[in-house]
Amino acid sequence: MNLAIPTPGIRRRSVTGLWLRHAVSFIRYWKFVITWVLIEPVIILVAVGFGVGKLVDEVDGASSYAEFVTPGLIIGNAMFHALFETSWNAYNRIENDVYETALTTPITITEITMGDILWAVTRSIMTVVGTAIVAALFGWLNHWEAIGIIIPTIMVGITFGALGFLFSAVAPHATFLTLVFTLVASPMFFFSGSFFPISILPDWVEPVAWFMPLTSGVHIARGFAVGSLDISHLWASLYMIALTAFIWPLAIFLLRRRLIR
Amino acid sequence: MIKAEEIRKIYGEISAVGGISFAVAPGETYGLLGPNGAGKTTTMRMLSGLSPANSGSISVSGIDVVKDNRAVREIMGVVTQHDGLDVGLTVFQNLFLHGFLGGLSRKISQSRAHEVLEFFGLRDRSKANVYELSGGMKRRLAIARSMMTSPKVIVMDEPSTGLDPQSRNRVWEELALLKDAGVTVLLSTHYMEEATILCDRLSIMDHGIILDEGTPDEMIERHAPKEVAQLRVSPLSIRAVRAYLTDQYISFREVGALISVTGVNGDRPDLSRLKDFEGVRTSYRAGNLEDVFLAITGRELRNE
């Protein structure tokens, strides 16, 4: 395939143009999307923080269960948004020929993934910032370092934004995308150390949990949230970056195979 | 303006386009006429880079489509087969964002979108959702979108397929306006009326190859009878009429409820005796591209 050789250089307009398209579409439907960006995560936060928190006396490294669970929950939510954008939404854009039309302008497949992942990151940031403000009002984010949660948010947005394409680019039908949630999102949401420290898992599950990229994201976010960062957070970051360096090119390859025939 | 040489596309074992060549002059409207599955869409996709050719070369305005695909898309507008409109956006936003993605500044893209909406008579639908539009309006919007960056060349895959006659006329009028504006158009179609009305020159395609090329008049002159008699026969006499024609060695073909009779060497066949049969209406029409296609391939252009 001739187009398998990407046009050298990245055209900035392609990326901003696609990002703008998503932003315009998002604003049109903001009344509906806001429920997912803000209302749903706050409901979970309140239920777990006030409800489950009453039953748990103490957790390592945090002054209360609510403080422990807050960074995990908001980062988990960032993952859902990034994944949804590049799996379900991107699948619809494939099926409705939105990408095909975009490809009649001077845009490349690589730039399509860049624009979409940039938007996935934007969504992740929106939900994290909104939910974090609510959590801070409840007194569950107490350290100024918590502002740094934006860093794992961006990393999660990129990693899971790229990961979502692996599903949308190969999905034969929309139902296939259920796998995004049953195989990726749900296991990670519950086993990545959001709700309990991974160290309490059986010995054989623990390494599996660390393998999941969200675990690293949650770990970094919690480091910022409780104001205790060490070398382990650097390793977690490098792991996510290494994983993304593998997933993203694969996503580009699969999307190209789907769109350029 | 467009030059395709020996372009070929193979999917697995199937040859979709088998080494075709054609050239389109600046300002010309050139058509690829053929039935579904003839390889027209694949050819259009190869031109716009959506489907790279396996071999051969294509250039647009001197730019090699394979080597510099991005540069080609900077100067070319494309109307894909299925409109490809963005249902998440309004009519105006579809145009504006396409222009922006194409490289226009926000301001220029906005004013150009207004211009294009005016030109295509869609101004009052500017704020409408795309899914509220009729099929004809969607098609016109897709054509309007390809005009956003004021390209010198437009590639159009089946501009009026699936439209009702009124919408089709509207699309044709607008394509005529594009031609007047000096835009080079390459279009594919399986409607012989469309090809006759719009195209300066055309190729007849079947099974991935070009069978003949020329102006519509040349093609008709070359391959079609001057005149074709069309018989509308009531079911009561259909058998008798068939028997009579066969008896008289008059060759005919049946398309739906219509029997077409073509005279040998272009002569008007003697059908005067058909008056004796009950319920036979005879009319004559000039030979057209449909007859050309039949003459070249032995098959109907449309299987209706």
Mean pLDDT value of segment A74-100: 95
Q: For residues A84 and A164, is the Cβ–Cβ distance under 8 A?
A: yes
- Which residues contact residue A29 at a Cβ distance below 8 angstroms, ignoring those fewer than 6 apart? B88
pTM: predicted TM-score of the whole model, two decimal places: 0.88
Q: Where are the domains of chain B?
A: 2-215, 225-286
Nearest-neighbour CA in chain A from B85: distance (Å): 7
**Interface check B88 vs A, CB under 8 A:** yes
Q: For residues B131 and B87, is the Cβ–Cβ distance under 8 A?
A: yes
Confidence of residue B304 (pLDDT cuts 50, 70, 90): very low
A4 is a domain residue = no
B2-215 and B225-286 agree in CATH topology: no
The CATH classification number of B2-215 equals: 3.40.50.300
Nearest-neighbour CA in chain B from A260: distance (Å): 5
A149 is a domain residue = yes
A232-250 pLDDT, tens digit each: 999 999 999 999 999 999 9
Q: pLDDT exceeding 90 applies to what percent of chain B? A: 30
Confidence of residue A255 (pLDDT cuts 50, 70, 90): very high
DSSP summary character for residue B190: S
The number of domains in chain A is 1
Is 70 exceeded by the pLDDT of residue A2? Answer: no
- What's the pLDDT at B266? 57
B100 closest CB neighbour out of A17, A25, A103: A17
Sign of CA dihedral B76, B80, B83, B85: negative
- What's the pLDDT at A4? 44
Is 80 exceeded by the pLDDT of residue A259? Answer: yes
* pLDDT higher at B249 or B210: B210
Chain A residue numbers touching B97 (CB-CB < 8 A): 17, 20-21, 24
Question: Domain B225-286: which topology?
Answer: Alpha-Beta Plaits (3.30.70)
Confidence of residue A8 (pLDDT cuts 50, 70, 90): low
Q: pLDDT exceeding 70 applies to what percent of chain A? A: 97
Query: Per the structure block, which two tokens stand in for A40?
Result: 């749903």
A168 is a domain residue = yes
ipTM: 0.87
A51 is a domain residue = yes
Is 80 exceeded by the pLDDT of residue B250? Answer: no
**Interface check B100 vs A, CB under 8 A:** yes
Contact A96 B49 (CB under 8 A): no
What's the domain range around A121? 9-259
Residues recorded for chain B: 304
Q: What are phi and psi of B27, to 5 degrees?
A: 80, -5
| Window 58-87 of B, Cβ < 8 Å to A | 66, 69-71, 73-74, 76-78, 80, 82-87
Contact B80 A100 (CB under 8 A): yes
A195 is a domain residue = yes
A166-178 pLDDT, tens digit each: 999 999 999 999 9
A103 is a domain residue = yes
- What's the pLDDT at B201? 93
Chain A residue numbers touching B87 (CB-CB < 8 A): 96
* pLDDT higher at B162 or A238: A238
Q: Which of A25-34, A51-60, B229-238 has the highest mean pLDDT?
A: A25-34
- What's the pLDDT at A12? 92
- What's the pLDDT at B267? 65
Contact B71 A106 (CB under 8 A): yes
Of B155, B205, B161, B157, which is closest to residue B34 (Cα–Cα)? B205
